[in-house]
Structure 1
């Protein structure tokens, strides 16, 4: 697949995140130079023009997210400076300026809120589905998931409605969570109810150094929180369920164990509907495990993405891992589990591939949840799609390097076995 356009961002340091708006007409870039830049597709549709740029944080920016257009043009950013900041586009800046050689007024973005409750770097931030109002989820390396709700029409007041210790989340379902019979990983989800205490609070964390008791009176108060005092063991990723029928549900991960927790905010107190440890075998991998895969922390999750269901009776969650693995989970809500009920959910691994040396930096579904993009540490983005046979095929590879003449990227375009 050939490169169609390049965007010279002009950032003075590494670009850490790129986020499209709802319509795909604008993108925001965040960088280690502490700046955010907003770009709009030009009139020809073949390039991008710089609309605005500003210094947004006092440390490298980690993630960006756009709100649903129902709430206007809002951006949220998070950073190593332990803050989440919410920005609103308020119109053109005064005076004319030169933007990528074109004369015109730059757009102006105003800071509406500074959320500084985190006690560690804020690694993930995402606006919730518009059906639940203007909500924002953040996860930080103090291993805490925080949910904020806007309580002011001016967007200047945000209430912290939930502060959840991710390691202390346990499965409150009354029955085990069976997996699909054809998944080849029987017992993965079913382990959650009896092993959640072990996986959540102690995991397989080496040494135990840096452990502190979680404070407060909410869920998990007094339990060990491995993220405090040791950022590598804290929270890293969060992704909302896009469908309102199941209530406010998110997928989160924390630490280097590779465990994903499906969290329901609709229950009181919030609980884990499902806990997904990584498969205990590698029979589904098309390649042999590498030494990196077997090393401590190799299963650590670097990115999560919950796909829009678009009429499916099940959900898809993609996870990218430090050892280069990409895993797609098939999540089935139980009958009668609508509105966030605690009926038993089930899960199976629908696809798994990778085990290369390049760490996965980001996984992201398209709007319909049918195509998965995977960005790796080697500077390449690959697009995957499931075939009717249930196999995952690489549709193409994008790279900043010149495209290869034969269109084959070291076997990356080969069929990925389920």
Structure 2
């Protein structure tokens, strides 16, 4: 299906809502458009105008929080828009980033209504809606400008991520991609807040797209990255869990032997696999819902699909020109 948006300039991003009934587009013309998709036809619902420069990204919030979308722009502003009874308005606006906001991503809904932002002046900002107001946390990423951010998926306790048992308690994690070609992994803990955990080094130019695979049930984390160095890399981090028996003795009138079962979780270093070199810069990478397919769009207007074979190699299975 083709959608005629009637933007007067280049479209920078588009995204469907979770149910596939609404499409949002944003453009260099500073406008966001919302279309209703039904029976392979589209109808323009509204135009959202509030940015004063090109809009780079739009992201739908989980429907648990209502019909809500976030946008970021070269004007250094992030706006969260919401719809109520057919009327769209701004729920929140932050305009003091002092540089272009290049990327935004909503956290898994289990954490609450939380938005991560990456800026050209090297800041990562996490905006959280509390009970009465919005709050923010920010830090310097030391990446010569943050071009993209993405959240790790929420993994509920008891989910099977390995053959040996349930995964450890999930932790908030964010990946950020810089203009220096470096990917950084950030983790959150109650004591220290957001902490830099690791650098993923392999790309030699700006990271244009970064997305964590949201499929659970696998004994690993998967992260895909695309770059202006004309390459796509799939990063994987294995997690295993083993159970061991430990003997302990309780002394008293009688000596009693107890069996205690302990669980040991082993998290391995990140590994990378580089897909065959593309002929042009990479604009976007995205995972299928099941996590078994990776879509790549490049500067030569090609879209390719990639699938991992039984030997762990990613092979091209489809191409659209």
TM range (shorter): 0.7 to 0.9
| 1:379 correspondence with 2:293 | no
Contact 2:219 2:240 in 1 (8 A): no
Partner of 1:242: 153
Deviations along 1:264-322, whole A, 9 cap, x unmatched? 0225142122221117xxxxxxxxxxxxxxxxxx4321110000132001011000010
Of 237, 246, 249, the match for 1:331: 237
Partner of 1:165: 140
Q: 1:266 to 1:23 in 2, by over 3 A?
A: farther
Deviation at 1:120, TM superposition (A): 1.2
Deviation at 1:142, TM superposition (A): 1.1
Q: So what's the TM-score if we normalise by structure 1?
A: 0.64
Partner of 1:80: 74
Helix, strand or coil: the match of 2:110? helix
Q: Which structure exhibits the higher relative contact order, with contacts defined as CA atoms closer than 8 Å and separated by 6 or more residues? A: 1
Q: Unaligned regions of 5+ residues in structure 2, if any?
A: 156-168, 243-265
Deviations along 1:77-129, whole A, 9 cap, x unmatched? 0000001000001223xxxxxxxxxxxxxxx3101111124121000101100
Contact 1:323 1:357 in 2 (8 A): no
Q: So what's the TM-score if we normalise by structure 2?
A: 0.83
Deviations along 1:46-68, whole A, 9 cap, x unmatched? 23222222323100000111111
Runs of 4+ in 1 over 6 A off after TM superposition: none
Deviation at 1:344, TM superposition (A): 5.9
Distance in 1 between residues matched to 2:50 and 2:233, nearest whole Å: 33
Of 254, 268, 291, the match for 1:369: 291
Contact 1:120 1:140 in 2 (8 A): yes
Partner of 1:312: 218
Q: Unaligned regions of 5+ residues in structure 1, if any?
A: 93-107, 168-199, 201-232, 280-297, 337-342, 400-418
Please, what is the CA RMSD of the aligned residues? 2.1
- The farther-off stretch of 311-320 and 54-63 is 54-63
Number of equivalenced pairs? 285
Q: Kindly report which structure 2 residues correspond to 1:196-235, keeping only aligned pairs within 5 A, or say none.
A: 233-235=144-146
Q: 1:396 to 1:51 in 2, by over 3 A?
A: farther
Q: 1:275 to 1:246 in 2, by over 3 A?
A: farther
Q: Which has the higher helix share?
A: 1
Q: Kindly report which structure 2 residues correspond to 1:216-295, keeping only aligned pairs within 5 A, or say none.
A: 233-244=144-155, 245-256=169-180, 258-266=181-189, 268-278=192-202
Deviation at 1:372, TM superposition (A): 1.3
Q: Kindly report which structure 2 residues correspond to 1:295-310, keeping only aligned pairs within 5 A, or say none.
A: 298-310=204-216
Q: Which has the higher strand share?
A: 2
Deviation at 1:345, TM superposition (A): 4.7
Partner of 1:176: none
Contact 1:82 1:119 in 2 (8 A): yes
